[in-house]
Chain A
Amino acid sequence: MVLTCRLALFGALCLFLVSFCSAPSALAQENPYFVAYDHYLEEPGNLEIEYFSTFGTQRGGNDFHGYWAEFEYGATAWWTTEIYLDGQTTSSDSTVFTGFRWENRFRPLKREHFINPILYVEYENKNGADKILKEGEGHDVESDFLVSNAASRREHIHEIELKLILSSTFKGWNFTQNTLAAKNLSSSPWEFGYALGASRPLALKASAKRCTFCPQNFVAGVEMYGGLGDSHSFGLHDTAHYLAPVLGWNLPSGWGLRISPGFGLNDNSHQFLMRWGVSREISGFGSMVSRLFRGRK
């Protein structure tokens, strides 16, 4: 049975990769952040498929590699919806699927303003072995990851996460500030966190020639994120914080690459996180699907 499942998984992945590479693409003009969000949503009808990795060091335990696949769809110009599938491998331990997330971002204002709010609502169905560190929240600290996968995956977490994203673009710079409130749907208290980001393309004008290595295809910046305690003990004590330079490369072929070394800022943080990711934007995915059901005229 296990072999059948693995073959099915392998076959599905092969099919996925073939279709992924042959689909019409669009140039993704993505920010380079891994944790922070800006106010730009996916273009309507486009599907962006992304894979991200986080390698983390662990004092007193085994280093880990968390990863997630992300399917981001622009439902409308004011609503983007995403599905995440998360997993992790802990060295000298095991590899586990840790759950899924369903995320929605809404743009409430019709026009662009100096500060642009985005409302973010996410449902998480994961287990305690989750190590992707997609956000900093509550009193999550490095020592939480010392528990073995076998033990931690027994904890099931159903969580609602809300964010207020405030983002501004000025003279090519993007500045964003995310405030997070998360509630485990059990009796846990509300947990809080933050993420800050700043980034800028290396060149603001586009080149008159098609090019892969033009500076306007690169976006560099920095992000900082961490927890702010919970509703019982709000504040910075017993919280982890990270600072991470980020670099994104938006290739004209529709592929995007991102990389970010992250550094823990206090004793509660992992000392070093290495993140990287690859993405591809498929333009007109919504039209393809609608044609699938409408048939030829």
Chain B
Amino acid sequence: MKTIAAALAVCAWFLVVSVVLAQSQNSDKPAGGATPSYDPSVYAELQKAPKKARERTNPLESDPDAVAAGAILFEQHCAECHGKSAEGRRKAPSLRAPEVQNATPGTLFWLLTNGVVRKNMPVWSKLPEPQRWQLVRYIKSLGASDPAAGSPAPKP
């Protein structure tokens, strides 16, 4: 009983202190308090998409709700690492970079499906296929921006 109580107390204190410290930081800022540096090599994985995957077209291209739905999905699943405006943070690169914005929808869909497991980008095939296409629509709607600027995302 004493062991359990002590273990729980330590866990709880650990959690409280870490949460308080984390919330006292500005979570919207890119890590390090500055705009993340632009390193084109982090986008190399996009080049590995097979030809067949690259050529796939987005079946929701003409769906008027796809961008709005994708924006919600982005906030729920992607903003933690890529930033609320997809400007990139320490953990994950900007999705506004030309490499991403110039990639075909099929390439982005392929990357979402397979992740980059060795570089800590999770596999997102747990999201059903239509939701991954909705995310692709939203990401493409952001448009390319100056990699060093990081302008805010358009509201869906």
Q: Which residues does chain B contribute within 8 Å of A78, judged by CB atoms?
A: 117-118
Q: Which of B96-104, B129-137, B141-149 contacts A (4 or more CB under 8 A)?
A: B129-137
Chain B, interface SS category = helix
Q: A11-B9, A15-B12 are in contact. Are A201 and B128 (CB under 8 A)?
A: yes
Residue pair A12, B18 in contact (C-beta under 8 Å): no
Residue pair A24, B16 in contact (C-beta under 8 Å): no
Looking across the interface, which residue of chain A has its beta carbon closest to that of B14? Answer: A289
Q: Which residues does chain A contribute within 8 Å of B2, judged by CB atoms?
A: 1, 5
Question: B104-156: which residues lie under 8 A (CB-CB) from chain A?
Answer: 113-123, 125-131, 134, 156
A-B contact count (CB 8 A): 154
Q: Mark A1-18, 1 if CB is under 8 A from B, else 0.
A: 110011011011101101
Contact of B17 among A172, A287, A292 (CB under 8 A): A292
Say if the beta carbon of B42 comes within 8 Å of chain A: no
Say if the beta carbon of B44 comes within 8 Å of chain A: no
Q: A24-B27, A97-B4 are in contact. Are A19 and B113 (CB under 8 A)?
A: no
Residue pair A18, B16 in contact (C-beta under 8 Å): yes
Question: B32-63: which residues lie under 8 A (CB-CB) from chain A?
Answer: 32-33, 60
Tell me how many residues of B have a C-beta within 8 Å of chain A.
54
Q: Which residues does chain B contribute within 8 Å of A287, judged by CB atoms?
A: 22, 91
Residue pair B1, A5 in contact (C-beta under 8 Å): yes
Residue pair B8, A12 in contact (C-beta under 8 Å): yes
Q: Which of A37-45, A149-157, A177-185 contacts B (4 or more CB under 8 A)?
A: A37-45
A210 to B130, CA, bound (A): 17
Q: Which residues does chain A contribute within 8 Å of B121, judged by CB atoms?
A: 77
Contact of B18 among A172, A205, A252, A285 (CB under 8 A): A285
> Mind listing 15 A-B residue pairs with CB under 8 Å?
A12-B11, A15-B9, A19-B19, A22-B19, A27-B76, A77-B116, A77-B117, A77-B122, A111-B114, A111-B117, A169-B125, A205-B69, A291-B21, A296-B25, A297-B32
